[in-house]
Structure 1
Amino acid sequence: MHITLRKTLLSLALSLALAGCGEQAAPPPASQAEVGVISLQPQAQRITSELPGRTKAWLSAEIRPQVGGILQKRLFTEGSQVKTGDVLYIIEPAPYQAAFDQAKANTAEARATLDAAQLKARRYANLVKIDAVSQQDNEDAQSSLQSAKAAYQAAQAAQESARIDLAHTRLQAPISGRVETSSVTPGALVTASQDAALTTVQQLDPLYIDITQSSAQVLHYKRELAAGRLTASGDNEAQIRLVLEDGSEYAHSGSLQFSGASVSQSTGSVTLRAVIPNPEGLLLPGMYVRAQLDEAVDQQALLVPQRAVTRSASGATSVLLVVDGKVEQRQIEVGRSVENQWWVESGLAAGDQVIIEGGQKVRVGDSVKSVTLQQASSTDQLAANAAQ
């Protein structure tokens, strides 16, 4: 009996020892890596184009003489502001003053002749009724009256023409604005309607911005709008913003006023015209600018953080996704950047779980634990989850 009990205890101890050895040999379950993801959701996003443009004066007037003569005076300071009606130049007026005086005298003489003809015609009209003068004499008197009237009207027209020529010896600003440099000095001989302008007056507040857009881009937007994938951003009063030649953003925004109805045969582009305020005079005509224009709205735009996108040596872009608890890599196409995000053109859909944190710790095919993050505070949330 003692032998049997001893064998039983020995067998039990051996079983316990073998069981203990088996438990130590079993490997622990593998822990899943934790990654931070965002769920893509469509959102309305404005399509903004940055297009080249040139500034153009709101009003511009080239000053040319309408009569010839010696330039007597220049009455403005180059680069100064002038008002409508300000005298800019004076051409020697003496010849034109003499011509006006002569025309005025001729008018007075024609008026005296007319008065005499009227008296004679009236008197003969009464005398012919009592046969005191012949019918022929009366007709001659009436004819002389008509000739005197015509001569008087011609004299008046000549006087007015001489007066206009005399007035044109004082060259006035037709608009208010900034006057440019003068191409002539006092003493120069100028001629009527000459090709070279004496100076130019330009109104610089507001300014026009002539913007060019390729016809291909116009067609693309029209097709997208017709298909319903885009909606119009606004009418012809759409707002624009300017980026200057030095890269700085202009402080004032403008509005689109006109879209060209034809395509330039030389450049293949359409001209858009905008108006922008210029109260400080910072912009000058002819400056090159970049105009940022809101053209349409994509109601189903998908944006993905730039840090979630990787680019291969060949230029292909891709992101890591969590699909059914596993890591998957997917190639995508991105368009323009929106702040710190890429606008996705293809490859992703609404609801996709894009890895934005922890992607460097996992490989394609790994099982992971995903933590949904808010994009604005994704780093803080992931750090809090890791601490727990």
Structure 2
Amino acid sequence: MRYAASLLFPAFLLFPGLMGATFAQVPPQMPPKQVGVVTLAPSAIPQRVTLPGRAVAFEEAAIRPRVSGLVTRVSYRAGRPLKAGDEMFRIDPGVYESRAASAEAEVRSAKAAAEQASASLSRAEQLVGSGVSRADLENTRSAKEQADARVSAAEAQLAIAKAELEWTIIRAPIDGVASVSNVSVGDLVTASQAQELATLTRLDPIEVDILSPSAAMQRVVADIRAGQLTVNEKISARLTLETGETYEVEGELEAAGFRVSETTGAIDYRFIFANPDLKLLPGQFVRGEISFGTREGYLISQSAASRDRSGLLNVFLVEDGKAVQHQLRDLGSYEHHWVVTEGLKPGAQLIVDGLTGLAPGADVVAVEVELTTGGVPQTVAPTGGTAPAAPAQE
């Protein structure tokens, strides 16, 4: 027994040390994590959709001759702007000058015959019953009417001849820029030929056809009828060029399509844009952002949300001092934010900073921060504790 006691005694001496070591291994309780939040409030959010589009000439004219003959002059320079009425081509006028002169002579002859017939009718009317019978009077009156008709016919032929002579000078029918000529001096052209001499295109303003899937437009119409979307007085659009450059001029809706394409299932919406610098050219592909109106909703910074496999947004809200995870369904984006209309209440505190390592149910201390226009916090919450916030490094 005395031997056993001697063995146990050192163990009792070591026990306080073992107990102390056990207590020393218990970690201290961490303070709540400081997180940056923004207080949510509903606002009128512009309803926009980005769709493909293609530029179309506002006006375009295929220049063809109205009379036949040899080209004697190409009067314009390709690529230079023309005004309506400017000369573009000349056709040899010789034959048409002769026709006009002949037609003028026919008019003079017909008028002389008509004057003679008029004089004969006057004499016949005075001599009725004194050697001129009623039958002779009617014949004289008929001759006068025929002479007048020949005058009208001759004048009509003269008008045609003058028009053809005028058509030997081919003029621009609209303002625009002309293409390279398809003919040269000395080429023979014929009236209304299939091949155009040139193409004249008006580039300012210019139209853009933006194509929208019919299903997307049906949803927009349904939202309007349900009162969820307030339509603007004027539906506008902005363009992004193929280079990624934003076209600075805003366009307005000119005409909405009323048929769905059988090949693409899309509806064509035509917008008109001022194009003073000719940055837009017919056939050019663009992306158009159409603004339909506004809807009431919340803007969720894209940097504060993640998306799961089902397509829902995962965000953290501060509730009773804890980080609570919520799943939300968005209706698209607007300026670096997701647009959400359901699942949130005014005054909710959305965690936008300090998300790294944040777990659902964690104790947090909310600190209001401001977001830049890109949705990035201007102040960053520290990784833990109560240290003051520092400038954003993102």
* Aligned counterpart, 2:127: 127
Q: In 2, distance between residues paired with 1:315 and 1:289?
A: 28
Q: CA deviation at 1:247?
A: 0.7
* Aligned counterpart, 1:330: 326
Q: In 2, distance between residues paired with 1:161 and 1:177?
A: 29
Q: In 2, distance between residues paired with 1:291 and 1:108?
A: 64
AA at the equivalent of 2:111: R
Task: Identify if the C-alpha distance between structure 1 residues 66 and 362 changes in structure 2 by more than 3 Å, giving closer, same or farther.
Answer: closer
Task: Identify if the C-alpha distance between structure 1 residues 68 and 358 changes in structure 2 by more than 3 Å, giving closer, same or farther.
Answer: same
1:141 aligns to 2:140 (yes or no): yes
- SS where residue 379 of structure 2 aligns? helix
1:320 aligns to 2:340 (yes or no): no
Query: Retained in 2: the 8 A contact 1:255–1:275?
Result: yes
* Aligned counterpart, 1:285: 282
Q: 1:341 aligns with which of 301, 323, 337?
A: 337
* Aligned counterpart, 1:88: 88
Query: Retained in 2: the 8 A contact 1:357–1:379?
Result: no
Q: Deviations over 1:11-53 (max 9, x none)?
A: xxxxxxxxxx99x969766533333333322121101112222
Query: Retained in 1: the 8 A contact 2:207–2:270?
Result: yes
Query: Retained in 2: the 8 A contact 1:35–1:359?
Result: yes
- SS where residue 387 of structure 1 aligns? coil
Task: Identify if the C-alpha distance between structure 1 residues 353 and 98 changes in structure 2 by more than 3 Å, giving closer, same or farther.
Answer: same
Q: CA deviation at 1:220?
A: 0.5
Q: CA deviation at 1:208?
A: 1.5
Q: CA deviation at 1:218?
A: 1.1
Higher percent of residues as helix: 1
Query: Retained in 2: the 8 A contact 1:65–1:192?
Result: yes
* Aligned counterpart, 1:310: 306
Q: CA deviation at 1:182?
A: 0.8
Q: In 2, distance between residues paired with 1:378 and 1:77?
A: 57
* Aligned counterpart, 1:355: 351
Q: Deviations over 1:135-184 (max 9, x none)?
A: 32222212211111111211111111111111111111112221111111
- SS where residue 258 of structure 2 aligns? coil
AA at the equivalent of 2:74: R
Task: Identify if the C-alpha distance between structure 1 residues 364 and 135 changes in structure 2 by more than 3 Å, giving closer, same or farther.
Answer: closer
Task: Identify if the C-alpha distance between structure 1 residues 202 and 379 changes in structure 2 by more than 3 Å, giving closer, same or farther.
Answer: closer
* Aligned counterpart, 1:40: 40
Query: Retained in 2: the 8 A contact 1:54–1:210?
Result: yes
Q: In 2, distance between residues paired with 1:48 and 1:225?
A: 14
Q: In 2, distance between residues paired with 1:310 and 1:147?
A: 93
AA at the equivalent of 2:50: E
What pairs with 1:194-233 in structure 2 (closer than 5 Å)?
Answer: 194-232=193-231
Q: CA deviation at 1:189?
A: 1.6
* Aligned counterpart, 2:53: 53
Please provide the CA RMSD for this pair.
2.8
Structure 2, unaligned runs of 5 or more: 1-18, 390-394
Q: CA deviation at 1:126?
A: 0.5
* Aligned counterpart, 2:254: 257
Task: Identify if the C-alpha distance between structure 1 residues 141 and 31 changes in structure 2 by more than 3 Å, giving closer, same or farther.
Answer: closer
Q: Deviations over 1:325-363 (max 9, x none)?
A: 333333333443333332236554444333223333442
Task: Identify if the C-alpha distance between structure 1 residues 215 and 365 changes in structure 2 by more than 3 Å, giving closer, same or farther.
Answer: same
* Aligned counterpart, 1:267: 264
* Aligned counterpart, 2:10: none
Q: In 2, distance between residues paired with 1:166 and 1:44?
A: 65
AA at the equivalent of 1:69: G
Q: In 1, distance between residues paired with 2:72 and 2:29?
A: 104
Task: Identify if the C-alpha distance between structure 1 residues 220 and 83 changes in structure 2 by more than 3 Å, giving closer, same or farther.
Answer: same
1:294 aligns to 2:291 (yes or no): yes
Q: CA deviation at 1:366?
A: 2.9
Q: In 2, distance between residues paired with 1:379 and 1:252?
A: 31
Query: Retained in 2: the 8 A contact 1:308–1:319?
Result: yes
Q: In 2, distance between residues paired with 1:155 and 1:205?
A: 44
Q: In 1, distance between residues paired with 2:33 and 2:175?
A: 73
- SS where residue 329 of structure 2 aligns? strand
AA at the equivalent of 2:123: R
Worse-superposed segment, 65-74 or 318-327: 318-327
Number of equivalent positions = 364
Task: Identify if the C-alpha distance between structure 1 residues 42 and 205 changes in structure 2 by more than 3 Å, giving closer, same or farther.
Answer: same
Query: Retained in 2: the 8 A contact 1:65–1:190?
Result: yes
Task: Identify if the C-alpha distance between structure 1 residues 365 and 381 changes in structure 2 by more than 3 Å, giving closer, same or farther.
Answer: closer
Q: CA deviation at 1:315?
A: 6.2
